[in-house]
Amino acid sequence: MNQSGERQSEPSPGGAVLLVGEDLEHVESVRRVIQRIGYNVQVCNSYAEGICQLISGAFDIIVVGQGSRNFEGRCVLERAAEFNRWLPVVVVARYLEMACYLEAMQLGAVDYLAEPLGAGEIARVMRTWAPRRKGAVEAERLTSMPISERHAA
């Protein structure tokens, strides 16, 4: 609160989110919440489109729908891991399947959430995982430098 007793809003975190899923209604509701929090959201309504956007864009986090029990969203998760191992990917599942959960975690997902998602849970995920991307990018940049140059950076 400020001196006049008004509640201060938190600064907008900014950042870019790639949201991929084939359930249009669910994707739209998640997009609205993420944008309200202050992130820029790129929506892809197919997994193939999500992979194309992943390769061509710069994102802080990816949120991908699992799809059915066959885990169609796996292709986005696999490509993200190949493309940038530091990029956090959250899988959202309509059908909770232990096999899909284990596979998602083995492929590098940072979280596996069950639908329906509430606004609070979406906000928690964004606060938890999106900021880590920036730190991971800096760490990767520093570790790729020769040791003699790290102190100057």
Q: pTM value?
A: 0.78
Is 10 inside any structural domain? no
Q: Quick check: is 6 in a domain?
A: no
Taking only the tens place, the pLDDT of each residue in 16-39 is 999 999 999 889 989 999 999 889
Mean pLDDT, the chain, integer: 82
Residue 7 falls within a domain, yes or no? no
CATH code of the domain covering residue 98: 3.40.50.2300
C-alpha span between 123 and 48 (Å, rounded): 26
Among 17-26, 46-55, 64-73, 122-131, the least confident range? 122-131
Which helix (DSSP H) or strand (DSSP E) does residue 111 occupy?
strand 111-114
- Identify whether 3 is part of a domain: no
| Within a domain: 138 | yes
User: How many angstroms from the chain centroid is the CA of residue 104?
Assistant: 14
Query: For helices 74-83 and 98-106, what crossing angle results, to 10°?
Result: 10
Contact, 90 vs 129, CB < 8 A?
yes
Domain that includes residue 79, residue range: 16-150
Number of domains the chain is built from? 1
**In a domain? residue 44:** yes
21-38 as b/e: b if 16+ CB within 10 A: bbeeebbebbbebbeebe
Residue 11 lies in a domain: no
63-105 confidence digits (pLDDT tens): 999 999 999 999 999 999 999 988 999 999 988 899 999 999 9
The answer to whether residue 99 is domain-embedded is yes
